[in-house]
């Protein structure tokens, strides 16, 4: 699907999917960020607290993104889950890079750096999952009734 070839309905559907992704992301971010802050308060340190937040949020995010954001009705496959996990790992690598940069700049165990890392993770994760995992599955219109 080339950007210039998108008709009005396709554009509305894609924007609706982005909106749903953001809503799921806000919910998942709130859960993950609470876990991260709890981990930091418990003395886990930047990397361990961050990992705990993402690992515990992963299954929730996959289920909600698959069913609600991209409205995939087909049966989940091992390949799809593996691709989703690979996209997660790539986006998580970007997340860790932001934390590493923050630490190099002297902001260790900083809540703002953690939040910035989550934002970079979220943006890259949408692009990756949309282009790799759910690329052939155009998001259905919210107004479509079965």
- pLDDT tens, position by position, 5-59: 667 888 888 889 889 998 998 888 888 889 999 999 999 999 999 899 988 888 8
Task: Tell me the helix, strand and coil percentages in the chain, rounded to 5.
Answer: 75, 0, 25
Distance separating alpha carbons of residues 117 and 110, to the nearest angstrom:
11
**Placement of tokens 């990397």 in the chain:** 47
Q: Say whether pLDDT at 137 is over 60.
A: no
Q: Which two tokens stand for residue 87?
A: 């996209």
- Specify the pLDDT at position 96: 94
């Amino acid at each position: 699907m080339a950007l210039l070839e998108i008709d009005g309905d396709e554009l509305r559907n894609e924007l609706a999917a982005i909106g749903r992704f953001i809503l799921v992301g806000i919910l998942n971010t709130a859960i993950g960020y609470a876990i991260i802050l709890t981990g930091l308060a418990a003395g886990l340190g930047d990397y361990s607290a961050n990992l705990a937040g993402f690992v515990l949020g992963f299954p929730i995010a996959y289920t909600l993104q698959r069913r609600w954001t991209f409205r995939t009705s087909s049966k989940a496959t091992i390949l799809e889950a593996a691709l989703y996990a690979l996209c997660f790992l790539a986006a998580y690598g970007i997340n860790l890079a932001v934390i590493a940069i923050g630490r190099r700049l002297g902001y260790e165990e900083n809540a703002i750096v953690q939040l910035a890392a989550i934002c970079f993770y979220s943006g890259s994760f949408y692009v990756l999952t949309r282009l790799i995992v759910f690329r052939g599955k155009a998001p259905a219109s919210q107004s479509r009734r079965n």
